[in-house]
A and B are shown apart, each in its own frame.
Chain A
Amino acid sequence: MTERSYVQVDNLRRVFDVSKPWLNRMLEREEKQFLKAVDGVSFDIAKGETFALVGESGSGKSTVARMVVGLLPPSAGGVTIDGVAMAGRTDAAQRQRLRRRIQMIFQDPYASLNPRWRVDRIIAEPIRAFGLLEDDAQIRNRVGELLTLVGLHPDDGRKFPHEFSGGQRQRIAIARALASNAEFIVCDEPTSALDVSVQAQILNLMRDLQDRLGLTYLFISHNLAVVRHMATRIGVMYLGRIVEISGGRELFLAPKHPYTRMLLDAVPDVGMSGRQRIPVKGEIPNPIHPPSGCTFNPRCPFANDRCRREIPPLLGGVACHAVHEGRITIPAAA
């Protein structure tokens, strides 16, 4: 952990109990069943940086996001933001002050805004909740300012969410996130529900705001091209673990882990460069009964006995026995 890291995520774990009801278990003589959604994830984010987590469905990236903002208590491990631990018995008042500086933007702008509230009330809610401004006129000014900041008109505050398109709603969600002067914003698939031309608007807006306000982002997405566009550093997740973590450019120029390579090969690209493709094998296994050893081993062309037995540690930014043993040659970064 470097001195400058702003967010530290340390060995985060989350287990969900997915057992059948007690009576069924008794009658059917079944054990309790657990799903390890996140299994020992560590990373840190520097101030002003965009750290992205990518992975396919079920890889645990959204669960990490929810634990980082404190919407979900971790089963083990911890999150430290700007020196304050988010879980545990540390100073509660300090944590409350910290919460103001952390906000989240969700995937579905149709579900994340209260349909019965006018937009100005939605955006003013964090201001009132944290008691940042008392005077109504001041609050109204601030809301107008925020609406302008995200590219809407101050008069739009009098409207209801249903009067806006998906992209505009996502702008409202961003304005709400900024209302409490947040510094760290967790974005969980912020553009997945949007059309490409609107997605481009939102991604550009998010980058502009980062430049202007010095925001730090944790950016969750399944879309590798979007991640490449946004992230300074990237963590690739597979079945609850980070399999590779590296700088944004390096990951795309010289992917190390076989899963990362497969994922990059699988993305249909408009560039039509005629890249050499490794055919993709299989699907993500059931996370309730993950494979032993490296969870990627059944789909991996380089798997051997050790991979089926031992969980590879994250060393040098990659969790893969084949890479550590030098069985895979890594293309040199250009």
Chain B
Amino acid sequence: MSQPVLSVRDLHVEFVTRRGVLKAIDGISFDIAKGEVLGVVGESGAGKSVTGSAVVGLIDPPGRIAGGEVILSGMRIDNLPPEELRRVRGKRIGMIFQDPLTSLNPLYRVSEQLVETIRTHTNLSSSAARKRAIDLLAEVGIPAPDRRIDSYPHEFSGGMRQRVVIALALCAEPELIIADEPTTALDVSVQAQIITLLKRLGRDHGTAIMLVTHDMGVIAETADRVAVMYAGRIAEIGPVRDVVQNPLHPYAKGLMGAIPSLEVETDRLVQIPGSMPRLSAIPTGCAFNPRCPFAFDRCRVERPEPIQRDLHRVACHLYDETTIRAEALA
């Protein structure tokens, strides 16, 4: 296998507050290959959006990257000076956020925003850039792009606006796209269209995509691999089919069972007691131990490190060779 587009190694992100240092990301590592979609799921407060922001260096004080490396196609980018990082970010990484209205400047026509972005990162003339902008809008499925390009963002519907944002992210032909809850603000019928579009773009351009969302359904349909996050750590990472259908980590198990399904009728949903801990009060040992039905003494003192188990990597003492408990569970 060739080198991954994005490689994150033991990343730590902290927020310094009056009440002490809060660890939002506490040592996570993952890779994304060319043309691959990595889904990052978790509930609010799991640190999935912070991970996305940290990769592109958009952590603002009081937050800071406290350790680890972010490597984009072999080049370390987390320690670049701000000006250089800004160039990398614009050209080689595209970003798509949840709310398309805040990603677009309401005072400028879509054409101006697209052409400006294209010209900043390429040396196309303005007429060539405009032509490219129209092509991009056509590619993301905006009807009559040669007319629509001169509209203002408010003249587009929510779904169309998100398409414009995707076109904007594609302007500089990035190697990596970070999509943070790209469909959360949209209706289901529109969401399905945007998911299909993202998948197709990743395939056609060979772009690596990091898809951050809380919606397991979206991940199941879009991602190749999935990382389940809990309290700033990756609980489990693996191929999407395996993780969704055969999760190993007790949190991942609970999460899958908690989702009501369209296909299967269940009388009761699986219930995980309690809720995600606050950053200021992360339990010692495994952060999930107070909610975990299988927790034992070791879970309360020692933090589990990721263990390779078939195709998954899971951070849970139950799967440690020295633990017999795993056999009991199986």
Q: Are B189 and A262 in contact (CB under 8 A)?
A: yes
Please judge, given known A-B contacts A267-B188, A272-B220, whether A196 and B275 are in contact too, CB under 8 Å.
no
CB distance from A289 to the nearest CB of B (A): 14
The docked-state distance in angstroms from the alpha carbon of A29 to that of B254 is 60
Stretch of B70-78, B258-266, B298-306 contacting A (4+ beta carbons < 8 Å):
B258-266
Question: Given A199-B258, A200-B258: A268 and B264 within 8 A (CB)?
Answer: no
Residues of chain A within 8 A of B189, CB atoms compared: 56, 262-263, 266, 280, 283-284
- Beyond A200-B270, A200-B271, A271-B263, 5 additional contacts (C-beta under 8 Å) are A196-B43, A267-B262, A270-B217, A270-B259, A272-B221
CB distance A225 to B261 under 8 Å?
yes
Q: Would B269 and A200 count as touching, CB distance under 8 A? A: yes
Please judge, given known A-B contacts A269-B220, A271-B262, A272-B244, whether A280 and B275 are in contact too, CB under 8 Å: no
Q: Encode contact with A along B242-277: 1 for CB under 8 Å, 0 otherwise.
A: 001100000000111111111111101111110110
Binds B, one of A13-21, A42-50, A67-75, A201-209: A201-209
Given A165-B275, A269-B220, A272-B245; A196-B214 close (CB under 8 Å) = yes
B272 touching A197, Cβ below 8 Å: yes
Question: In whole Å, how far is B291's beta carbon from the nearest beta carbon of chain A?
Answer: 9
Choice from A56, A228, A272 contacting B260 with Cβ under 8 Å: A228
Question: Which residues in A have their C-beta under 8 angstroms from that of B269?
Answer: 200, 203-204, 229
Residue B191 lies at the interface, judged by CB distance under 8 Å to chain A? yes
Q: How far is the CA of A270 from the CA of B223 in the complex (A)?
A: 12
**B193 pairs with A269, CB closer than 8 A:** no
Chain B min CB distance to A43 (Å): 22
Q: Nearest B residue to A264 by beta-carbon distance?
A: B262
In the assembled complex, 8 residue pairs joining A and B whose CB atoms fall closer than 8 Å, in A order, are A56-B187, A195-B44, A196-B258, A200-B258, A268-B195, A269-B217, A270-B217, A271-B264
Task: Compute how far the CA of A249 lies from the CA of B192 in the bound complex, rounded to whole angstroms.
Answer: 23
5 A-B pairs closest in CB distance = A268-B217, A200-B258, A195-B43, A229-B260, A200-B269
Contact of A224 among B188, B222, B264, B268 (CB under 8 A): B188
Query: Hey, which chain A residues are within 8 Å of B190, CB to CB?
Result: 280, 283
From known contacts A228-B262, A283-B189, infer whether A268 and B215 are also in contact, taking CB-CB under 8 Å: yes
Chain A 116-172 interface residues, beta-carbon cutoff 8 Å to B: 165-168
Binding site for A on B (CB under 8 A): 43-44, 157-160, 187-193, 195-196, 214-218, 220-222, 241, 244-245, 254-266, 268-273, 275-276
For A165, the chain B residues whose CB sits under 8 A away are 275
Min distance, Cβ A297 to any Cβ of chain B, angstroms = 15
Residues in A with CB closer than 8 Å to B273 are 201
Q: Are B259 and A222 in contact (CB under 8 A)?
A: no
**CB-defined contacts of B268 to chain A, threshold 8 Å:** 204, 207
B215 nearest in chain A by CB position: A268
Q: Is the CB of B262 within 8 A of A224?
A: yes
What's the Cα separation between A228 and B264 when bound, in Å? 10
Inter-chain contacts of A252 with B (CB < 8 A): 262
CB of A279 closer than 8 Å to a CB of B: yes
Please measure, in the bound complex, the distance between the C-alpha atom of A249 and the C-alpha atom of B241, giving whole angstroms.
27
How many angstroms between the C-alpha atoms of A6 and B196 in the bound complex? 43
Say how far A290's CB is from chain B's closest CB, in angstroms. 15
Given contacts A269-B220, A272-B220, whether A197 and B258 have CB atoms under 8 Å apart is: yes
Complex CA–CA separation, A224 to B187 (angstroms):
12
Residues from chain A with Cβ under 8 Å of B276 in the complex: 195
* B residues less than 8 Å from A271 (CB atoms): 220, 261-264
Q: How far apart sit A165 and B274, CA to CA, in the bound complex (Å)?
A: 10
Which residues of A lie under 8 Å from residue B191 when comparing CB positions?
Answer: 266, 268
Q: Is A273's beta carbon under 8 Å from chain B?
A: yes
For B264, the chain A residues whose CB sits under 8 A away are 271
Collect the chain B residues with CB atoms within 8 Å of residue A262's CB: 189
Q: In the assembled complex, which residues on chain B have CB atoms less than 8 Å from the CB atom of A196?
A: 43, 214, 216, 255, 258-259
Residues of chain A within 8 A of B193, CB atoms compared? 279-280
**Complex Cα–Cα for A265 and B257 (A):** 22
Q: Who on chain A is nearest to B273 by CB? A: A201
| Segment 203-237 of A: residues with Cβ below 8 Å from B | 203-204, 207, 222-226, 228-229
Which residues from A are CB-within-8-Å of B263?
269, 271, 273
A197-B255, A197-B258, A273-B263 known; A268-B272 Cβ under 8 A = no
User: What residues of B have a CB within 8 angstroms of the CB of A198 in the complex?
Assistant: 43, 275
CB-CB under 8 A from A268, the residues of chain B are 191-192, 195, 215, 217-218, 220-222
Q: Say whether A57 faces chain B, with CB atoms less than 8 Å apart.
A: yes
How distant is A247 from chain B, measured CB to nearest CB, in Å? 13
